[in-house]
A and B are shown apart, each in its own frame.
Chain A
Amino acid sequence: MIPNETISIDQYLALSALVFVIGMMTVVVRKNLLVALMGIELMLNATNIALVAFSKYNNNIDGQIMVFFIIAVAAAEVAVGLTLCISLYKQYKTLNVDDYRSLKG
């Protein structure tokens, strides 16, 4: 749609890195298990930005196909993650990761 010659690929990669690090911080800092899952989604989307940008600048369609597969796998991952969240909530009545102590020796 828009020819991107005025934007260099560095800018897309910097945006991707920024979103990736914000997602990683979400996984590390937040105590809520569901919000940590959202952080994983952000990290996956950051890689998608980088892949689509490379696909565009490289004139190679395989990057977009890889993004398509990543979206499918991410949907599956969300389904399993939310199932595990529900079963953990049923067992422990909380989603705070600090309250899961059964593996602590």
Chain B
Amino acid sequence: MAHQIVFYIIGSLVVLSALGVLLFRSPIRSALSLVVSLVMISFLFFTLNAGFLASVQLAVYAGAVAVLFIMIFMMLDLEHPEKPQIKIGLKTSLKLFVAGTLLSILITTAQLSSDLFFSYKGPKNIETDLDVTKQLSMRLFTNHILTFEVIGLLLLLIAVGSVTIIKLVETKKGDSHDSQ
């Protein structure tokens, strides 16, 4: 029963702060709401016995990504909130209809597949007497080592690529200034 209560508190906080991202008009408030949502999802990972992922979620998402977003807001000086565009018109009701349809399809599929899930007898490779983080790292560095290396390469490419994009824009601007 206590687990149910913890789950419902954390889940409702996740959903409320996600709704905050959608509904706040000022982008900086959306960003702070996103931080609350990410921290709550990290707590959810803790209750799911995934302590390592919870700490990674806190460090990478709630730390790095959120600070990056807020720093971009600071750099770009975006202090004009959007006009309230949620009027109940044809377009908005169409969007709400599509979102509601998708939500009901997703939940129905989840319920149908959970029957399938309980009849599924896949490989079970968590041993309860060992630490989950230890098992995760053992499997990560043996079976999934190639993916791990590819992710490292991807991060290098991203670093080079984003610098190149900024450089491209700068040179294009310089050219247009020269031609004027």
Are B34 and A42 closer than 8 Å at their CB atoms? yes
* B118 → A minimal CB distance (Å): 9
State which size class the interface on A falls in: 35 or more
Q: Are A38 and B30 in contact (CB under 8 A)?
A: yes
B123: nearest residue on chain A (CB-CB)? Answer: A60
Consensus secondary structure, chain B interface: helix
User: When the two chains form their complex, are residues A35 and B165 in contact, meaning their CB atoms are under 8 A apart?
Assistant: no
B140 within 8 A of partner (CB): yes
Q: Are A79 and B110 in contact (CB under 8 A)?
A: no
CB of A75 within 8 A of CB of B95, answer: no
How far does the alpha carbon of A7 sit from the alpha carbon of B11 in the complex, in Å?
12
Chain A residues with CB below 8 A from B135, complex form:
61
Query: Do residues A52 and B50 form an inter-chain contact, with CB atoms below 8 A?
Result: yes
Q: How far is the CA of A58 from the CA of B117 in the complex (A)?
A: 8
Q: Is A52's CB under 8 angstroms from B48's CB? A: yes
Contact across chains for A58 and B102 when beta carbons are under 8 A apart? no
B126: which A residues are within 8 A, CB to CB? 59-61
Are the C-beta atoms of A13 and B114 separated by less than 8 Å? yes
19 pairs of residues in contact across A and B, judged by CB atoms under 8 Å: A4-B49, A13-B107, A13-B111, A13-B114, A15-B11, A20-B106, A21-B102, A31-B85, A45-B61, A58-B120, A58-B124, A59-B125, A60-B123, A65-B136, A72-B151, A76-B155, A80-B161, A80-B165, A96-B82
- Closest 3 A/B residue pairs (Cβ): A13-B110, A17-B106, A83-B162
Spell out A's residues near B (CB within 8 Å): 1-4, 6-15, 17-26, 28-32, 34-35, 37-39, 41-42, 45, 48-49, 52-62, 64-65, 67-69, 71-76, 78-80, 82-87, 89-91, 95-96
